[in-house]
Amino acid sequence: MEITARSLWTLIHGMGFGALYLLACSGGMVELYRYTTPSTQYTPAVGSERFVRWYLIAMVMLAWVAVLTGTFIVYPWYRAAVPAGTVDLSGYPQKLLMAHASTIGWHSLGMEWKEHVAWFTPIAITMVAFVFIKYGRDLKNHHYLRTAVLSFTAASFLAAGVAGFFGAMINKVAPIQGGQTFQLSHGEGK
């Protein structure tokens, strides 16, 4: 069992940061909603608001690390130029997808959408975290701001979901491979 350096980075970017953000986002939305609903009977435990603040800071860090590793580490491998005379396109995912009518959509729709919309996630969640950290439960007294904060949180979830779905599918159809190979374990015959 082995993995290449590029595959490992793709895994860290997608499964490590991206998927963890998506998981965190669902919990974050519930907590934000509960904390900021004016009519709620919910009384937070002592220290739980501080926990939500740190939770949102972790989400902000995950979102930024996910887009930065995606844009500046994994994406250059995806869009690498093919040297003249290359026949095997397996090391050039974008060109591999564009070479077949049945897979070109994964690039022209999937990657084109993913590479841009993913950036909305850190911008939106940074704002959400800032507003929550500054206002806390007082946000329930700001009706329009609360609506905007919850909408931007949902948009960040949607953007991360689009990026995650297409990232996973594209890597399944045209995996990013290459670089140093790490041996994870030695197989045994059965």
Partner 1 sequence: MSERNTDLSVASPAIPNGSAAAAVLASGIGILVFAVTAFAGDKSPAIKSALIFYKPTGPLSGVAAVGVVCWILCWVLLEWRWGKKTVSAKGICAAALVMLALGLLLTFPPMVDLL
| Cα–Cα nearest to 178, from 80, 69, 66 | 80
Tokens of residue 3, six digits: 């993995």
**Interacting stretch for partner 1, rule CB under 8 A, among 12-20, 84-92, 131-139, 170-178?**
131-139
Residue from the set 4, 16, 44, 119 that interacts with partner 1 by CB under 8 A: 119
Strands 181-183 and 2-4: antiparallel
**Interacting stretch for partner 1, rule CB under 8 A, among 3-11, 42-50, 55-63, 115-123?**
115-123
Residues 31-50 interacting with partner 1 (rule: CB under 8 A): 38-39
Specify the residue, 39 or 185, whose C-beta has the smaller distance to partner 1: 39
Burial grade of 88 (CB within 10 A; 0-12, 13-18, 19 or more): exposed
| Residue 150 beta carbon to partner 1: minimum distance, rounded to whole angstroms | 11
Specify the residue, 1 or 35, whose C-beta has the smaller distance to partner 1: 35
Q: Is 144 in the site for partner 1 (CB under 8 A)?
A: yes
- Interacting residue ranges for partner 1, rule: CB under 8 A: 38-39, 67, 71-72, 75-76, 79, 108-109, 112-113, 115-117, 119-120, 123-124, 126-127, 130-131, 134-135, 138-145, 147-149, 151-152, 155, 158-159
